[in-house]
Amino acid sequence: MTSTAERLKAAPGETVRARGLPTGWGAAALIVLAGSLLLGLSVGPVSTGVWAIASSAAAHLPFLHVHSRLDATDSAIVWQLRAPRVMLAMLVGGMLAIAGSAYQGAFRNPLVDPYLLGTAAGAGLGATLAIAYAHASGGLLPVAAFAGASVAVIAAYALGRSAGGIRGTGTLVLAGVTVTAFMTAVQTFVQQQHASTLQQVYSFILGGFGSATWHDVLIAAPYILVSSVVLILHRRVLDVLSLGDEEAASLGIDVRRTRLIIVVAATIGTAAAVSVSGLIGFVGIIVPHSVRLLVSTSYRAIVPLALVLGGAFLVLADILARTVMSPAELPIGVVTAFFGAPFFAVVLRTTRRLG
């Protein structure tokens, strides 16, 4: 007899194989991530060998008597300048990708991304207000962006509830679109009133890790780690939600409460990510769909692989951002959009064909 899990469907005519994360793909994803981290640490105006970086890292580990091949200057470049940038890119990329997979499962829509409920617009407005009125930079800017993103999501939920509850995913999505439009309008108004801040605002909106520090990593990491753990623990439930609300409820799932937990976890992590990186689009579309096409349509595989490969993807994108126009840097949002826009078109075409 076929079990319920084996009958889960992610899209019309596409059956999910009820299995967990394939060991081979999991190992391959970790290798790709490790390779991207080493590459990110080695690439720059000052060339640093991979083996030298590996020996320097091993020299800091207890019980390993390894001599570092990096001198004091190279060590400072690698661990104080490049390492926080690479780590932040990994955390942000992983969070955006896993949040994208969670939103797509929770709303049963393969085209949604982490900015669905106005997170990006709220973060952009918060940053714009802080820059325009408080001349914020450094530590205050991430706080303002996080606050703006949180307010946007709360407003979207409140609007969705007042419009007939959160039972239907369509109502919540439309509420998010409404909040996004309003906050974008307010942001544009503020920018027009403070034209001198346009360059700093656009620098945040286009995203980047050029000024990343270990402090930024420490600010975002707790939120991202907790959110990721919650989403990974709910990966099986996402498969059940893909059946539809009525059948999921008949299987004993509190659909409203479960969807709320998933959305809140994904949104808090996304807010923390964009507060330190700026607005970086398409990661939540590219990575989960690549996993879906190459590995499995089951969220038991998509969610953890999206977390790992999302980190690797954004680290590699950041390498392109800082090398393509060297010594100048290209905004990383431009790089992800360059790959993401055509990918989104392919996903849209495929989804329409399946529908």
pLDDT in tens, 182-206: 999 999 999 888 888 888 888 888 8
Q: Is residue 5 very low, low, confident or very high in pLDDT (cuts 50, 70, 90)?
A: very low
Hey, which of 10-19, 129-138, 310-319, 327-336 has the most confident mean pLDDT?
Answer: 310-319
What pLDDT score does 286 carry? 92
User: Taking residues 265-270, what's their average pLDDT?
Assistant: 91
What pLDDT score does 45 carry? 76
Joined together, the tokens standing for residue 162 give 């007042």
Task: Check whether 166 has a pLDDT greater than 80.
Answer: no
Hey, which of 146-160, 188-202, 218-232, 241-255 has the most confident mean pLDDT?
Answer: 218-232
**Residue 59 backbone dihedrals phi, psi, to 5 degrees:** -65, -20
Say which residues have a Cβ less than 8 Å from residue 254's Cβ, sequence separation at least 6.
none
Report how far residue 267's alpha carbon sits from residue 156's, in angstroms, rounded to the nearest whole number.
Answer: 12
User: Whole-number mean pLDDT of the chain?
Assistant: 84
Q: What is the pTM of this model?
A: 0.86
Reduced to 3 states (helix: H, G, I; strand: E, B; else coil), residue 258 is helix
What pLDDT score does 20 carry? 72
What pLDDT score does 82 carry? 92
Say which residues have a Cβ less than 8 Å from residue 178's Cβ, sequence separation at least 6.
156, 159
Say which residues have a Cβ less than 8 Å from residue 289's Cβ, sequence separation at least 6.
110, 343, 347
Strand partners, 14: 11
Hey, which of 19-33, 44-58, 221-235, 242-256 has the most confident mean pLDDT?
Answer: 221-235
User: Taking residues 271-286, what's their average pLDDT?
Assistant: 90
Domain-wise residue ranges, the chain: 92-354
Closest CA to 32 of 282, 280, 297, 314: 314
Report how far residue 250's alpha carbon sits from residue 253's, in angstroms, rounded to the nearest whole number.
Answer: 7
Closest CA to 90 of 44, 151, 142, 29: 29
Task: Check whether 285 has a pLDDT greater than 80.
Answer: yes
Q: Which carries the bigger pLDDT value, residue 288 or residue 44?
A: 288
Tokens 């809140």 belong to which residue?
A: 264
User: Taking residues 258-282, what's their average pLDDT?
Assistant: 90
Give pLDDT tens digits for 18-41. 467 888 999 999 999 999 999 999
Report how far residue 159's alpha carbon sits from residue 243's, in angstroms, rounded to the nearest whole number.
Answer: 26
Q: Which carries the bigger pLDDT value, residue 349 or residue 108?
A: 108
Q: Is residue 158 very low, low, confident or very high in pLDDT (cuts 50, 70, 90)?
A: confident
> Which amino acid is located at 244 in the chain?
G
Q: What is the DSSP string of 262-322?
A: HHHHHHHHHHHHHHHH----SHHHHHHHHHHHHT-S-HHHHHHHHHHHHHHHHHHHHHHHH
Fold of 92-354: ABC transporter involved in vitamin B12 uptake, BtuC (1.10.3470)
Cβ–Cβ < 8 Å for 316, 43: no
Which of 64-73, 265-274, 326-335, 336-345 is predicted with the least confidence, judged by mean pLDDT?
A: 64-73
Alpha helices in 112-244 (DSSP H): 119-134, 140-162, 169-193, 198-206, 214-233, 235-241
What pLDDT score does 352 carry? 57
Which of 8-12, 173-177, 223-227 is predicted with the least confidence, judged by mean pLDDT?
A: 8-12
Q: Is residue 15 very low, low, confident or very high in pLDDT (cuts 50, 70, 90)?
A: very low
* Helix (DSSP H) and strand (DSSP E) numbers for the chain: 15, 2
Report how far residue 300's alpha carbon sits from residue 235's, in angstroms, rounded to the nearest whole number.
Answer: 5
User: Taking the alpha carbons of 144, 147, 153, 154 in that order, is the dihedral positive or negative?
Assistant: negative
What pLDDT score does 353 carry? 54
What percentage of the chain has pLDDT greater than the value 90?
36
Distances (CA, A) of 345 to 15, 348, 350: 23, 5, 9
ω into residue 327 within 30 of 0, thus cis? yes
Joined together, the tokens standing for residue 85 give 């940038």
